[in-house]
Amino acid sequence: MRSPGNGLARFGLAGLVKCANFACCEKIMKKKIGVLLSGRGSNFEALAEAVAKERLPNAEIALVLSNRENAPGLDRARERGIAARAIPSKGLEREAYDKLVVAALQEKSVDLVCLAGYMRLISPYFVAEFPNRILNIHPSLLPAFPGLEAQRQALEHGAKITGCTVHFVDENLDAGPIVMQAAVRIEDADTVESLSERILREEHRIYAESVSIVLEGRFRMEGQRVITSGEKV
């Protein structure tokens, strides 16, 4: 029977140090995501699945926040063992509330903020604290149909194609630079519900892809245009 020392000697002290340093660096390199939601959090779950299945191998969701204490997305986060908390927004002005949210995100050293059905406008203060580090997913091909009920807007306008958009968040509603879009054809028999369901499948796909692009730095900005590439820019 070999002694434990034989194995260590064969591996070598330098190898052990290298292995330990690699494990340490790997942990440090993990990018932290903060997710903001107001409801069920299906896009949060899509991101959590992408992390779990290593489609976002160097990322972790550090915190899920909601402005509503009864948001189902908070329970879904806790079931996954992810830190989740509510910061009720009732009675607070936008910037005063955002200062509480920003403090919570900074406490967790969040690198990227992802809005996932977050039903509040972000203040200029919030944007300034996370420049080009806030993403949103919207259920239309922006700049068409911004704001609420985008699917209903598309149907009422008789659009033939709609879809979803991942964009950086700025001070204006659904107006920040676009990272990625996916088109969805509108069928004659579509209802708001059926169209929303098909758009949502595309949302789940492109949100994770967009997060990967941003966290890995595989993009550059040219005015309002986001130029993406396969390598870090």
The verdict on 163 and 222 lying in the same domain is yes
Asked whether the predicted pLDDT for residue 232 surpasses 50, the reply is yes
In a domain, 1, yes or no: no
User: Range of 201's domain?
Assistant: 136-233
Q: What pLDDT score does 230 carry?
A: 73
The verdict on 181 and 158 lying in the same domain is yes
Q: What's the CA gap between 116 and 21, in Å, rounded?
A: 35
Average pLDDT of span 175-194: 98
**Of 90, 66, 87, 88, nearest in space to 77 by CA:** 66
Q: What percent of the chain has pLDDT over 90?
A: 85
Instruction: State the Rg of the chain over Cα.
Output: 21
Q: What's the CA gap between 130 and 140, in Å, rounded?
A: 24
Asked whether the predicted pLDDT for residue 89 surpasses 50, the reply is yes
Q: What pLDDT score does 2 carry?
A: 41
Q: What pLDDT score does 105 carry?
A: 98
Q: Which residues form the catalytic set?
A: 138
Asked whether the predicted pLDDT for residue 25 surpasses 50, the reply is no
Average pLDDT of span 55-59: 93
pLDDT interval class at 42 (50, 70, 90)? very high
pLDDT interval class at 1 (50, 70, 90)? very low
- pTM for the model: 0.86
Asked whether the predicted pLDDT for residue 13 surpasses 70, the reply is no
The verdict on 152 and 103 lying in the same domain is no
The verdict on 146 and 217 lying in the same domain is yes
In a domain, 226, yes or no: yes
Omega cis (within 30) before 131: no
Asked whether the predicted pLDDT for residue 12 surpasses 90, the reply is no
Q: What is the pLDDT of residues 91-142, one digit of tens each?
A: 999 999 999 999 999 999 999 999 999 999 999 999 999 999 999 999 999 9
Average pLDDT of span 166-181: 96
Q: What share of the chain is helix, strand, coil (3-state, %, to 5)?
A: 40, 20, 35
Q: What pLDDT score does 29 carry?
A: 75
The verdict on 124 and 141 lying in the same domain is no
The verdict on 78 and 141 lying in the same domain is no
The verdict on 107 and 154 lying in the same domain is no
The verdict on 119 and 72 lying in the same domain is yes
Contact 127, 169 (CB under 8 A): yes
In a domain, 3, yes or no: no
**Residue showing tokens 């992390």:** 51
Asked whether the predicted pLDDT for residue 219 surpasses 50, the reply is yes
Asked whether the predicted pLDDT for residue 88 surpasses 80, the reply is yes
